[in-house]
Chain A
Amino acid sequence: MRNYPSDARPFRPRDLDLHPPAYHPGYKTSVLRSPRQALLSFSNTPTEITGPVFGHDMIGPLDHDLTRNYAQDGGSAIGERIIVYGKLMDDEGRPVPGALIEIWQTNAGGRYRHVRDTYVAPLDPNFGGCGRTLTDDEGYYSFLTIRPGAYPWPNRANDWRPAHIHYSVFGHGFAQRLITQMYFEGDPSIPLCPIVGTVPDPVGIDMMTAKLDMDATIPFDARAWRFDIVLRGRRSTPFENRPEGN
């Protein structure tokens, strides 16, 4: 992958007001899994500035195609065929190339292929539910998949997750590491969901909501949804001469 001169600079501090707080009792599991003590803050060191990168040699030809990467010979997953794509960029809009993105999701009926998921909706024999890809030189990624279904979950007595796709994003530094969820524009379950509701600002919820993109839709094949992802940017340090930042 490319190596930019700016790559060794420290990251801008994370604005934790944009992110969900650890403790959010509407999402019940967070009650016992949230620290009570304050986080310890310090400026980036090489430990945080650096991070793993992954090569194209680990990516298989169907890794980004969830309609086929678990399917039997010639088969395909059942459901609404969709492309989810977007640009991975830093907070100044610069592309983040060569970064690993991993996704996972339910099948069209809202069922995960996981031993602990006992939802009554059936598994799809041709759908596994995971994919991965590397962003290209302009920071773009894309997946072909089926639209996941909504499903109930044991939180409050009638809570349903909106249709969503989980994203794990690497960037170039360990401090950029991010896991989020992508929702679909227009889904009426979004404002009802306690997990969505952990995000304190409607602007943040909008950032997690993919938009229907007819221009990228393949006619008679698959509709496209655009989901751009923004990672922390590196600080510019014009008045600092310490090579490792501060």
Chain B
Amino acid sequence: MARLRETPSQTAGPYVHIGMVPTFAGVLGVFPGDLGDGPLYRDGVKGERITVKGRVIDGAGAPLRDACVELWQADADGLYNAPSERRGRADPNFIGWGRAAAGGDEGIFTFETIKPGKVPFGDGRIQAPHLALWIIARGINIGLHTRMYFPEETEANAADPVLNRIEHGWRRETLIAKRQDGVYQFDIHLQGDGETVFLDI
């Protein structure tokens, strides 16, 4: 049988919040709350609890105030909370997925999560701990995938198969968060100086 084509992507538009974070948008009473809101963990979760904050910044240096960001990551042992995880059972107190709107005048998104463990690459090498992020907004025709790595994981980052695939070494830095006041800061630059590396996965 001939393969079907994938349905084309379209922008999420400026009113994406109505569908994906309706409580944030002020559409109250349809759902109990916003899906993917709140911490990615429950009481009893294994691992170090962390806060990640960031902005999505356009080619003129202005933060987007109408973006949504989704996060997908492994638990503290490097296992995903998914039926397609075959290496073991993930921490039942860790969801692994979250969704945040870029809020306020500053356009800041926030995730309360845990630091993930290490996950193998296809050839058996080990990937450095990372968060998978997916960015959608008005003006973005197809959702942008990227990753956030951790600044203290110097050795693991130096050996990471994905970071090492980035030809220009200085661009690897765009995927490594900064740590300030105990919070991981990760700004995503859509275009221009310091443009974040985006992934074709």
Which residues of A pack against B, CB within 8 Å? 1, 3, 7-8, 10, 13-16, 18-22, 24, 27, 29-37, 39-54, 58, 60, 63, 69-70, 89-93, 102-104, 112-117, 128-132, 166, 168, 172-175, 177-181, 195-196, 198-199, 203-205, 207-208, 229-233, 242-246
Instruction: Say whether, besides A19-B142, A104-B15, A114-B18, A52 and B72 are in contact (CB < 8 Å).
Output: yes
**Cβ–Cβ contact B8 & A208, under 8 A:** yes
CA distance in complex: A196, B10 (Å):
8
Residues of A within 8 A of B200 (CB): 13-14, 16, 39-42
Q: Is B13 an interface residue (CB 8 A)?
A: yes
Q: Min CB distance, B201 to chain A, in Å?
A: 5
Top 9 A-B pairs, shortest CB-CB distance: A104-B19, A29-B139, A33-B139, A52-B97, A50-B82, A20-B141, A39-B200, A50-B80, A32-B59
Q: Min CB distance, B16 to chain A, in Å?
A: 7
Segment touching A, from B84-92, B103-111, B150-158, B178-186: B84-92
Instruction: Say whether, besides A128-B22, A174-B132, A50 and B85 are in contact (CB < 8 Å).
Output: yes
Residues of A within 8 A of B192 (CB): 36
**Cβ–Cβ contact A14 & B6, under 8 A:** yes
Most chain A CB inside 10 Å of its own CB: which residue of B25, B130, B162? B25
Q: Is B137 an interface residue (CB 8 A)?
A: yes
Residues of A within 8 A of B80 (CB): 46-47, 50
Q: Is B113 an interface residue (CB 8 A)?
A: no
Scan B167-201; emit 1 where CB is below 8 A from any A CB, else 0.
00001000000000000000000111001111111
Q: Taking CB as reference atom, which chain A residue is nearest B190? A: A33
**Cβ–Cβ contact A179 & B25, under 8 A:** no
Residues of A within 8 A of B120 (CB): 45-46, 244
**Cβ–Cβ contact A42 & B27, under 8 A:** no
Q: Min CB distance, B134 to chain A, in Å?
A: 6
A/B pair count, beta carbons within 8 Å: 289
**Cβ–Cβ contact A91 & B87, under 8 A:** no
Residues of B within 8 A of A179 (CB): 9-12, 16, 136, 143
The B30-51 residues at the A interface (CB cut-off 8 A) are: 30-32, 35
Some 25 contacts from A to B, beta carbons below 8 A apart, are A8-B84, A18-B8, A19-B142, A24-B141, A30-B11, A32-B190, A37-B198, A40-B199, A44-B201, A45-B120, A47-B80, A90-B4, A91-B3, A92-B4, A93-B1, A112-B18, A115-B26, A128-B29, A130-B19, A168-B20, A172-B84, A173-B84, A207-B5, A208-B7, A232-B6
**Cβ–Cβ contact B201 & A175, under 8 A:** yes
**Cβ–Cβ contact A116 & B191, under 8 A:** no
Q: Taking CB as reference atom, which chain A residue is nearest B66? A: A116
CA distance in complex: A90, B14 (Å):
28
Q: Min CB distance, A207 to chain B, in Å?
A: 5
Grouping DSSP codes into helix (H, G, I), strand (E, B) and loop, the A interface class, with mixed when no group exceeds half, is loop
Instruction: Say whether, besides A45-B122, A91-B6, A246-B122, A35 and B20 are in contact (CB < 8 Å).
Output: no
CA distance in complex: A233, B1 (Å):
13
Q: Min CB distance, B48 to chain A, in Å?
A: 19
Q: Min CB distance, A64 to chain B, in Å?
A: 11
Q: Min CB distance, A53 to chain B, in Å?
A: 6
Q: Min CB distance, A176 to chain B, in Å?
A: 9
CA distance in complex: A91, B138 (Å):
27
Instruction: Say whether, besides A40-B166, A47-B72, A15 and B6 are in contact (CB < 8 Å).
Output: yes
Residues of B within 8 A of A24 (CB): 141
**Cβ–Cβ contact A34 & B6, under 8 A:** no
Residues of B within 8 A of A168 (CB): 12, 19-20
